[in-house]
Amino acid sequence: MRLRTPLLALGSLAFLGLAGAQTLPPAPDVIIDAMEGALGRITTYRPSHGKGYCATGHFVGTAEGGRLSVAPVFNGQRVPAIIRFGVGGPNARVSDTARSTRGLAIRMETPAGDIWDSASISVPVFGAPTPEAFVGGLLVRSRGANGAPPDPAAVAAFVAANPNTLNQGRWLAANLPPASFATTPYFGVNAFRFQGADGQVRIARWVFEPRAGLERLTAEQLNTMPADFLADELRRRLSSAPVEFDMVLQFPGEGDDVNNPTIAWPDERPRIIVGRLSVTEVAAGPGGACDPISALLLDQEPGIALSDDPTLAVRAGAYAVSLSRRTR
């Protein structure tokens, strides 16, 4: 038996600033319980980026990638990749014009069997600075047992105590959605430790930058494009050439917060291309090889390791619980 209620109640008080209790990071099942409370019960689809399409391709590390990380995926060989493009939110039928994140999840597996998963979004910041704030935001936005809507006063109190949780929403409101899965950058948002061939460990965030350039919907297209244009548009592109992204590492400067994914680092920080992802095929419809993959293998010691960003420490466990619930 899981004692969910006491954990959630204590957590919600602390998150709202109404109690001084110190709490441990929320357990994976508590995180997913909170997501279900706010977004609906997990059945077949992911609670985040429920709408998605599987693709395949490969990744090749650059010489600089091999210098900056001894992880096998950067050694210059062609590494097969299973790829998933997604549209933010739990609704698998959401419109492709929605002002939400677009997702790029990748599983790479070297010929020797080394696996590395990554998950990136089309926004340079995450929605919460800590697991506690993430769960707290979900709790105050959950409906009551009788279907009652969230309490506006509780939401306002939470936001006042956690202002950085608004950063992602502000960015989405200020930027039109991508015109293609192939014309938006995908940000890792979290910092990782990369151990180089010289033995030095460097903190960096990654971004997959589209070689096709940046293109967003116009204000007119936002109101006229069909609800399911993104996958077909990507398939048309792939009929003539692969879709490619440069994987770029961005390094922090003095004063940059390396453990808060709700704050983007300035664009002028040092950046180095460490590899190229080529997308070569998209599944004919929803479903495919990416469906049972949940991007759990986030670290690949010694070349890639988690930073002290607290949201990383709980992510794999929460993904595992989510995967178990949608495949039960």
* Residue 15 clears pLDDT 80, i.e. is over it: no
pTM score of the predicted model: 0.90
Under 8 Å CB-to-CB from 9, ≥6 apart: which residues? none
> What is the rounded CA–CA span in Å between residue 47 and residue 324?
12
The percent helix, strand, coil of the chain (3-state, each to 5) is 30, 25, 45
Q: For the residues of 23-89, what is the DSSP string, one character each?
A: -PPPPHHHHHHHHHHHH---SSS-SSS-EEEEEEEEEEE-HHHHHH--SGGGSSSEEEEEEEEEESS
What mean pLDDT is predicted for residues 288-301?
A: 89
Q: Could you tell me the end-to-end alpha-carbon distance of the chain, in angstroms, rounded to an integer?
A: 18
Provide CB contacts within 8 A for 8, sequence distance 6+: 30, 33, 34, 135, 139
Q: How confident is the model at residue 8 (pLDDT cuts 50, 70, 90)?
A: very low
The number of CA neighbours under 13 Å toward the Cβ of 302 is 8
Candidate from 10-14, 139-143, 218-222, 285-289 with smallest mean pLDDT: 10-14
Note the pLDDT of residue 23.
Answer: 62
* Active-site annotation holds for 58: no
**Domain span holding position 129:** 4-326
Show Cβ contacts of residue 221 under 8 Å, excluding neighbours closer than 6 positions.
97, 179
* pLDDT (0 to 100) of residue 328: 74
- Domains held by the chain: number: 1
pLDDT over 60 (residue 16): no
Compute CA distances 83 → 105, 110, 142, 169, 297, whole Å. Answer: 6, 15, 32, 26, 14
For a pLDDT cut of 70, what percent of the chain falls above it?
Answer: 93
Percent of the chain with pLDDT strictly greater than 90: 75
Q: Is the pLDDT of residue 6 over 70?
A: no
What's the CATH code of the domain at 265? Answer: 2.40.180.10
Q: What is the pLDDT of residue 113?
A: 93
Angle, CA 205 vertex, CA 84 and CA 53 arms, to 5°: 5
Give the closest residue to 79 by CA, choosing from 239, 274, 233.
274
21: pLDDT confidence band, cut at 50, 70 and 90?
A: very low
Exactly one of 46, 49, 51, 315 is catalytic; name it: 49
> Would you state the pLDDT for residue 38?
86
- Choose from 87-91, 125-129, 292-296 the range with maximum mean pLDDT: 125-129
Considering only 81-85, 235-239, 298-302, which range has the smallest mean pLDDT? 298-302
Report yes or no: 242 and 205 within 8 Å, Cβ to Cβ. Answer: no
State pLDDT tens for residues 130-185: 999 999 999 999 987 777 899 999 999 999 999 999 999 999 999 999 999 999 99
- Size (the chain), residues: 328
pLDDT digits (tens, 9 = 90+) for 207-237: 999 999 999 999 999 999 999 999 999 999 9
Q: Report the b/e string of 64-90 with b at 16+ CB within 10 A.
A: ebbebbbbbbbbeeebebbbbbbbbbb
Buried/exposed code over 251-272 (b: 16+ C-beta within 10 A; e: otherwise): bbeeebebbbbbbbbeeeeebb
pLDDT greater at residue 109 or residue 146: 109
pLDDT, averaged across the chain? 90
Average pLDDT over residues 10-17: 36
279/181 Cα distance (integer angstroms):
11
Residue type at 278? S
Nearest one of 265, 263, 261 to 311, comparing CA atoms: 261
